[in-house]
Amino acid sequence: MTGQNALAKADPAAEAELGRLPSMPIVELRKRYRELFRGEPPPAFGPDLLRRSIAHRIQEKAYGGLPSATRRLLDQLAASALPKGRLELPRKIKPGSELVRSWKGKTYRVTVLPKGFGYLGKAFASLSEIAFVITGTKWNGPRFFGLRSAPGQEAANAE
C-alpha cells in the first residue's frame, strides 16, 4: 500500500475475500462482479480480469479510492486529450505485411518494414508521408490505408 492507504489498518473481511478470489470458479466470480458493479461483466473478461476487477473494487470499498476531485480531473483530462474520451490503440502490423490502396483508379502497395514502411523502393517513417506522395495532400496515413475509421464513421457503423 502507498500514500494515505499505507496508514490504514487491514480490514479482515476484505483481506479474507481477497484471499478467496484465486480459488473462486468463474461462475462465482461473475456473480460477485454483478454484486459489486451492479451490472454484467464484459463478455471478454476471463477469470483473471474478473479477479483483478473484483479485487480492486473490494480494496476501494475497504480502504478508499481516489478523491472525487482527482477523479473529476482525470475525467476532464481524458475527455480533452483523447478522441471521444477514450484511448485508441494503434494496430500492430507485422513486418512483411502489404497494405493495398486503390486511389483514383490506380492500385498502390506498401510493405510494412521492421521500422517504417516501404513504397517504390524507398523507406518512409510513416504512412502519412506515403499518403502525401500518392495524393499530393496531407492525409492521416492509417486512415488513408484503411487502418482507422474516419471521424463519425464508427457511430454510423454502429446504427
> From CA 122, how far away is CA 139, in angstroms rounded?
19
Q: In whole angstroms, how large is the CA radius of gyration of the chain?
A: 24
| Model pLDDT for residues 96-154, shown as the tens digit of each residue | 999 999 889 999 999 999 889 999 999 999 999 999 999 999 988 888 888 876 555 44
pTM score, whole prediction: 0.46
**DSSP assignment of 20-77:** HGGG--HHHHHHHHHHHHSSPPPTT--HHHHHHHHHHHHHHHHH----HHHHHHHHHH
> From CA 89, how far away is CA 13, in angstroms rounded?
38
The answer to whether the CB of 65 falls within 8 A of the CB of 72 is no
| Model pLDDT for residues 27-66, shown as the tens digit of each residue | 999 999 999 999 999 988 999 999 999 999 999 999 888 8
At position 41, the amino acid (one-letter code) is P
| Contacting residues for 32 by C-beta, under 8 A, at least 6 apart | 24, 54
Q: State how beta strands 98-103 and 122-124 pair.
A: unpaired
